[in-house]
Structure 1
């Protein structure tokens, strides 16, 4: 059972060089991801006089986030696992694949990376606003809450299948691009409704820098619940329970 694998970790882990290196990698990867993703949105707004809600703006956001996440996961994979997302870290924790203390280090690094990226963007653009995530007209908080759960479930399930599963084999080489693709696809699906965050760190940085917290809880609760469910489902059904390969005559 996954619950048996959950561990708090030893206090010394919080200051262990490997854990600190992993946290630094998460900080840098998240900074890269948020700077490119949020920056692309700000650039599109400038070029189109705040036309980010157009179909072209949605496609641009999906592509920018997919490409940026592909790079961010790739550069952090060998050091920290390339989580770049508190929901991914939480999903790994409930599945017993990371300790609580190491997970907290990752969370701190991810939130700091997002905040620094937004501060750099604000400075580099001469004070342009880093837009916080918000609900579109006609979309209720519970609609957005369910959207975030479902989209983040798909993201963390993809992370488990391509990066965490010990049986992944050569599939692990395409994990970063698969993770980037599912985020891009989810932005196309949900971006017009609530911005399609799937990542509390991505929501936190812009909200803090612009000091805009309307419905911010949705962008924490939804992704964490979706990521946690994905971690439990994949760990329980596909990792902890071994299944023998059927003979080819039985297919």
Structure 2
């Protein structure tokens, strides 16, 4: 069997970039320029296994297609034009296929568990090992799956992916906490929600938002395409998210976050 030299950090980065692209294709306000930017790191990924090269080619094909649209062959297209619904749906389908291909490929890797401060046994069990039974029961299926993925990614040394999933859960819990208050609704992608909350509570914050400044700082780092989370970053954000869950559930009335 031919051996390959791969870069674990690049593999981790690719998985995060694919997940990020998939999430953004759910946003109806996604622009052409932002889409091209999201495809760029996937297309330019290096140090990855040959089995994932098809994903790179797919990202390049999409970039070329969208750049052609911007060069005038697409009617009235500008960098800030929103991605047409049909194109966005097609790209989301492709991103979903890339996610499946990525997960199936890396599941066959042998990965050494890094030295981490959080108990390995608890990480293997998942979020229920860190949360009270009452809080665990109040997690939505999506939040529970995302937290489990954050734990699994941390065990595998995929720190950026772990932190990304934890931040998504934190934003979703804060969104539902906010919408139970008389102030109304808050919408957008998970990173937009954190930004909006930061703008609304720049100084004095409710107790549930005491960690918001930290979450905003980490959000900015994770959304920076040139940054990779450290092990310490991922562990801290996961801890913050578990602590946030315990705080928010005490004021949540409906029984689910």
Shared fold (TM-score, shorter chain, > 0.5): no
Q: Which structure has greater helix proportion?
A: 1
Normalized against structure 2, the TM-score is what?
0.29
Q: Which has the higher contact order (CA 8 A, sep 6+)?
A: 1
Q: Report the structure number with the largest CA radius of gyration.
A: 2
Normalized against structure 1, the TM-score is what?
0.29
